Chains A and B, each alone.
Chain A
Amino acid sequence: MNSISLTQFASDILLITATLIVYQLFSAIQQRLSAIWFNPMLLAIAAIIPFMLAFDISFEYYFNATKPLNWLLEPAVVALGFPLYQHLSTIKNQWKTIVSLLTLAIIITICVSFILTIVFVAAPEIAVSLSLKSVTTPIGIALTEQLNGNSSITAFAIIIAGLSGALLGPGWLHFIGVHSAKAQGLAIGAASHALGTATVSKISYQHGAYGSLALIVSAVTTAVISPIIITQLSLLFLDM
């Protein structure tokens, strides 16, 4: 009995250590390359999956072993209050405009995502997950769990939304005639959360400020309104 729990403990430590090393390795390479698209989170996931398949480790086993990493999610969300504090003076004059604009845009996008997924994939838990893809991961995951979505699909969708907006967003916005730094930052922060914000922060200071602002405002807005909208949409589409 004792030796079994000891082996269990040893293998848990091994899995956490391996995860940390893989992540740290990719993050060191990213810093060396100074390329934001070389995303350590995405690459660590991509590296760990084949390893698990090769050694026949189930997700439940892995998730249980790496629970301490998952616990750190909540303090990390709290830490996001710091950039918000830094940008409070920027937001003061414009906050009504920004909050109402982002709220409307988010409502439209949640509805479109939900309806498209119901129509083309026909799975309510995936519809919930895809509706929540534009917020920063910890909040997206928390909301997904609250609304009976599928948290690994949400995590996947959030990464794709982040990467697509971060890599193609600035080009797309120039293409449709949005040239101001404020509007570009706000749009990319709203659609592509922390990943997008980190990318555009390198373009200019205003990009970064408006990106962080949008990231946080849209996280709070989504947290408040998505439970209402998604419950209504579910009633509308699934009880027919």
Chain B
Amino acid sequence: MLKKNSLLVKNALYSILIIALCLLVGKIIAASLGGLPGSLYGLILFTSVLHFKIVSADKIQQTVAWIISHMGICFVPSGVGIINHFNLLKNHGITIVAIIFFTTFLLLSIVGLWFERITSNTTTNKNDHKPDDKRSSNSEFPSQ
């Protein structure tokens, strides 16, 4: 029990260290090159060090799954900022929500229809019925 916990803590610290390092290097790149926000350079870097097996994915998986599933808390402060815009919502709320709905469904339809057409043209046999072939990547990952 104690051993299991200390392993968990070790892995968590390892993950935090790797993420912090990626973010730090990402910020340095962003400050010197510009373009993307530092966190995005950090994301790309994090993917690369995992892909080239510079860091161990097994040690990181659990902590990252925890971080991603609790990510929502970080957005609460900026979300509460809507309090300063009640007037705007009173005047334009319905228009704004309508535009969001319309463009969301537009994007859904473009991507969905287009990709469905491309994939049904290139693959004559239906892959959808045998998902076992496609399980090349790791276990299922909770992405919220």
Contact = CB atoms under 8 A, between A and B. Distances in A.
Query: Do the two shown chains form a genuine complex with each other?
Result: yes
Interface of A: 19-20, 23, 27, 36, 39-42, 44-45, 48-49, 52-53, 59, 62-63, 66-67, 69-70, 72-90, 97-98, 101-102, 105-106, 108-109, 112-113, 116-117, 120-121, 123, 126, 130, 133-134, 137-139, 141-143, 146, 150-153, 155-157, 159-161, 164-165, 168-169, 172-173, 176-184, 186-188, 190-192, 194-195, 197-199, 201, 204-206, 208-209, 211-212, 214-216, 219-220, 223-224
B2 interface: no
Contact of B82 (A49, A123, A138): A49
B34 to A, nearest CB: 10
B143 A186 contact: no
Closest 6 CB pairs of A and B: A152-B81, A198-B144, A81-B46, A41-B72, A187-B112, A178-B112
Contacts of A180: 116, 119-120, 128
Nearest to B57: A85
B72 A23 contact: yes
Nearest to B47: A81
B76 A223 contact: no
B81 A151 contact: yes
A123 B111 CA distance: 28
A211 B112 CA distance: 12
B1 interface: no
Interface of B: 16, 19-20, 22-23, 26, 35-40, 42-47, 50-51, 57, 60-61, 64-65, 67-68, 70-85, 88, 92, 95-97, 99-116, 118-120, 128, 131, 134-138, 140-144
A208 B40 contact: no
Contact of B142 (A44, A67, A120, A201): A201
Given A74-B38, A223-B40, 16 more contacts: A39-B72, A44-B72, A45-B76, A78-B45, A82-B68, A86-B141, A101-B111, A120-B92, A120-B99, A130-B99, A153-B85, A183-B115, A187-B112, A206-B128, A223-B36, A224-B36
Contacts of A133: 100, 103-104
A23 B71 CA distance: 11
B83 A36 contact: no
**Which of A20, A67, A178, A188 gathers the greatest number of chain B CB atoms within 10 Å?**
A178
A158 B4 CA distance: 39
Nearest to A15: B77
A169 to B, nearest CB: 6
Contact of B109 (A59, A74, A176, A206): A176
Contacts of B119: 180, 182-183
